[in-house]
Amino acid sequence: MTVLRPDDPALVPDAGHEAVTVTSVVPAGAEGPWDAYAETLITAAGRAVPDLRGRLVRHEVRTPADIAGETGAEGGAVPAPALAAAGGRLLHPSNGTALPGLFTAGGWSHPGGGLPHAGMSGALVAGLIVEGPEFRGSQ
């Protein structure tokens, strides 16, 4: 679960509220009940954001079926975040491949899912193309 709390006053509805985005990616093919799952997330996020439930103005539940319908991603598949734990088993594949000159970028490649990571993935591939296979990111 990710809890985002931007501190820009222009992004909040009023002085009594703040903008909070709670996101959790479920495995493709998973099944609900989605509203109950959302309630569990709101409760968990409430531990990080005091009185979250009491200040909740609105929430939206987006299911894998919603994602599949809007993006065409089979089963609503969304890349899980890459985690540097479990001996590297939770990391995404590197951007280079066994075929010279073929690189991968995006949520299913290093460094993983989410818009910032997809952008970083593209930047890493650009570095590999320009600098060669020894490129390891910014120095």
Residue 103 has pLDDT above 90, yes or no: yes
Same domain? 51 vs 104? no
Q: 72 with 120, same domain?
A: no
Residue 81 domain-assigned (yes or no): no
Q: Write the pLDDT tens digit of every residue in 4-41.
A: 777 788 877 777 777 777 777 776 567 889 889 888 88
What pTM did the predictor assign?
A: 0.53
Q: Counting beta carbons within 10 angstroms of the beta carbon of residue 5, is it exposed (0 to 12), middle (13 to 18) or buried (19 or more)?
A: middle
- Cα distances from 27 to residues 31, 79, 119, 121, in angstroms, run 9, 9, 23, 22
Q: Do both 55 and 94 map to the same domain?
A: no
58 with 97, same domain: the answer is no
Residue 139 lies in a domain: no
Q: What is the number of residues in the chain? A: 139
| Residue 16 maps to a domain | yes
Q: Which domain holds residue 40?
A: 2-76
> What total of structural domains would you count in the chain?
2
